[in-house]
Amino acid sequence: MKHPDDFRSKWDLVIQPRTRLVNVDLGAVWAYRDLAWTLFRRDFSTFYKQTILGPIWYILQPLLSSLIYLFVFGAIANIPTDGLPPFLFYLSGLVVWSYFSTCFTNNSQVFSKNSALFGKVYFPRLVVPISIAMSALVTFAIQFALLIATTFVFQLLGARVAFSFLAILLAPIVVAYVALLGIGVGLITSALTIRFRDLAYVAGFAVQLWMYASPVVYPLSKVPSRFQWLFDINPMSAPIELLRSLAFGTPIPPVVLILCNLGVTSALFLAGIILFSRAESTAMDTV
């Protein structure tokens, strides 16, 4: 009579009871990297497939939003922008925020949007959130290039502003940080949405409120000291201010704020991985 281990060795995957708090096989995720690339190409090719302007929306969206902020917060509210031209100030904040918003919003509905795929074939479910972050990276690259080009236009018009190419070298660090945050918060929401469907509607509203609680349309230097702690625990404060500092030489975020933001982001990402790994085993029964 053969030992059970003899039969087990014939299978590529053996489902076993969970014995760890974080049940994520990074080796399996890496083995399915081709699938992540395939999902990335699918998302990129189909997102604007039936639109009139296509990928041009990547450029129009931040430009139109910056013009609106220029009128509301610049011309009417007259909020200072740390010496930068207001349009560049708003555009630089939107470039970072748009990447986070896309990662967060799309990952918050991972189970519901991919239920047909998840119910038919097995693969590490974490591949899908990674592919979403990869797809959003294309938008970030286009809008970041738009920010550089817009800066040159302002220089030609006589504005005293210079773009530091150090921002190009260090931008991947900011992107990696924002990707981890967007994936982490998105996975938390996605795992909770399985039981509480209302969170799917709350996520879109919450991301709008979160934006106004972040230094997108106002500089961190103008925040009263009694409210500074709110930005210390807001993990989107540091990347927005840091990108502006790298690109235009605005004040560098305080070290305390950067460390606090890193701590919050690490906690949110770890919580997202834990909740997501626990929810994936039963998600298809409830979605």
**Alpha carbons 69 and 225: distance in angstroms, whole number:** 25
Task: Give per-residue pLDDT as tens, 219-259.
Answer: 998 888 899 999 999 999 999 999 999 999 888 899 999 99
- Smallest Cα–Cα separation from 264: which of 226, 215, 230, 213? 230
Long-range contacts of 34-39 (CB under 8 A, 24+ apart): 35/123, 35/127, 35/131, 36/127, 36/130, 36/131, 36/134, 37/131, 37/134, 39/127, 39/128, 39/131, 39/135
Q: Does a structural domain hold residue 63?
A: no
**pLDDT for the residue 280:** 72
Q: Are 28 and 130 a contacting pair, CB within 8 Å?
A: no
How far is 274 from 272, CA to CA, in rounded Å?
Answer: 5
What is the percentage of the chain residues whose pLDDT exceeds 90? 41
Let me know if residue 154 belongs to a domain.
Answer: yes
**46 is a domain residue:** no
The pTM is what?
A: 0.86
> Residue 162 has what pLDDT?
84
Rg of the chain over Cα atoms, rounded to whole angstroms, equals 21
Number of domains in the chain: 1
- Give the pLDDT of residue 135: 87
Within a domain: residue 222? yes
Question: Hey, what are 131's tokens?
Answer: 């592919």
Structure-block tokens of residue 101: 């918003």
Domain span holding position 259: 68-286
> For residues 84 and 161, is the Cβ–Cβ distance under 8 A?
yes
What pLDDT, on a 0 to 100 scale, did the predictor assign at position 195?
75
Q: Is residue 174 part of a domain?
A: yes
**What does the H/E/C string look like for the chain?**
CCCHHHHHCCCCCCCCCCCCCCCCCHHHHHHCHHHHHHHHHHHHHHCCCCCCCHHHHHHHHHHHHHHHHHHHHHHHCCCCCCCCCHHHHHHHHHHHHHHHHHHHHHHCCHHHHCHHHHCCCCCCCCHHHHHHHHHHHHHHHHHHHHHHHHHHHHHHCCCCCCCCCHHHHHHHHHHHHHHHHHHHHHHHHHHHHCCCCCHHHHHHHHHHHHHHCCCCCCCHHHCCHHHHHHHHCCCCHHHHHHHHHHHHCCCCCCHHHHHHHHHHHHHHHHHHHHHHHHHCCCHHHHC
Length of the chain: 287
Domain membership flag for residue 114: yes
Structure tokens at 265: 């982001």
The residues, any chain, with a CB within 8 Å of residue 165's CB and separated by 6 or more, are: none
Specify if 179 maps to a domain. yes
pLDDT of residue 68: 94
Instruction: Return the pLDDT at 22.
Output: 58
Q: State residue 39's pLDDT score.
A: 79
Look up residue 46 and give its two tokens: 């189909």
* Residue at 47 is within a domain: no
pLDDT in tens, the chain (287 residues): 555 555 455 555 555 555 555 566 667 777 777 877 887 777 766 666 656 566 777 888 899 999 999 999 988 888 888 889 999 999 999 999 999 999 999 888 787 777 677 767 777 778 888 888 988 898 899 999 999 999 999 999 888 888 888 888 999 999 999 999 999 999 998 888 877 776 777 888 889 899 999 999 999 988 888 999 999 999 999 999 999 999 998 888 999 999 999 999 999 999 999 888 877 766 555 55
